A = this chain, B = another copy of it.
């Protein structure tokens, strides 16, 4: 039951598109990620996904619109909805989602991580 400082945790890694687990509660995990560039289109069949922007500007592309997220913004992407995160410059995010969520959803891609690390 120790506190987790997000900035300190973010200083521990530099990889992009590689979420790190920092906490778990009620079957959900709290993850931190650094994003830069365009990710792939994907959806999560059974999991809603929350993005909280710690630093930077994240564009979330949907099939019918684009949502621009800045520091302090939260976006919940409902299950089944295709989305594609775009980070023109580096973005730091906190994610909340069920422990079993794969970050590329149903899509198997070279970016897909099989096992995420705790930091």
Contacts and interface: CB of A to CB of B under 8 A. Distances in A.
Count of chain copies: 2
Contacts of A25: 48-50, 76, 78, 96-97
Describe A's contact surface by its main secondary structure.
strand
A28 B28 contact: yes
A6 interface: yes
A1 interface: yes
A73 B1 contact: no
Contacts of A114: none
B1 A96 contact: no
Contacts of A5: 72-74
A7 B71 CA distance: 10
A67 interface: yes
B74 A22 contact: yes
Interface in A1-26: 1-7, 22-26
14 contacts: A1-B62, A1-B78, A3-B69, A3-B73, A4-B74, A4-B76, A6-B72, A25-B48, A25-B49, A25-B78, A25-B96, A30-B74, A30-B76, A52-B94
